Amino acid sequence: MKSIVLFFMILTIVALPQDMRKNASYSLFSDQKASRVGDAITIIVVESSIASNNAETKSGRESEISLNFSGNFKGNPLPSGDASAGSGNEFKGSGSTKTSGVIQTKISATIDSVLANGNLLISGSKKIIINNEEQLITIRGIVRTSDVRADNSVLSYNISNAEITFEGSGIVSGVQSPGILTRFLRFLF
């Protein structure tokens, strides 16, 4: 009986080998993190940006020329005269810009490839349509495996070379763009 059990144990080991490289990413003591091509990962987008720029220019120039003459000739006074010329130039210009934006959302992405150093190239998109207004959010970038949290998510500010686009189309975005006549006049002037 012992020989039969031993025979089946050896047969099981030889017939059903396991690939240790496949199981190397699994741990008995921690959650499974996304680490292979095709694995899903959740991106928590928490982005805010504020930028402002002010410029002010002031220049001026002033010049003046004057000429006075008077005199006497053999005791008789000569007619006197004054001549003056002046010019001035002044310029003042100022401008300022200010932009701000905040995006907070979650996007499910997939791992497109694993780089040689173990970093993950990820990409994902999310499309939302509300009342004929379409919003498309796409994200691409490189994530370190150490930045992937236990719940298989990563914060957007931990993504290097991040490309986050937020595009919208519909009635509201159509009203915000200038009309044809305005664009034509801007082209001319």
Q: Judge whether 166 lies within some domain.
A: yes
> What average pLDDT score do residues 23-47 get?
74
* Position 26 in a domain: no
More confidently predicted of 116 and 91:
116
Residue 140 pLDDT class (50, 70, 90 cuts): very high
The answer to the question of residue 71 being in a domain is: no
Query: Which residues are CB-neighbours of 51 under 8 A, at least 6 positions away?
Result: 97, 98, 99, 100
DSSP string, 117-147: TS-EEEEEEEEEEETTEEEEEEEEEEE-GGG
Instruction: Return the higher-pLDDT residue of 98 and 13.
Output: 98
Please tell me the total count of domains within the chain: 1
Does the residue 92 lie in any domain? no
Q: Is residue 130 part of a domain?
A: yes
| Domain region containing 143 | 35-49+101-177
Residue 77 placed within a domain: no
What residues have CB less than 8 Å from 66, skipping those under 6 apart? 82, 83, 84, 85
**Residue 147: inside a domain:** yes
The answer on pLDDT for 27 being more than 70 is: no
In a domain, residue 139? The reply is yes
Residue 96 has a pLDDT of: 78
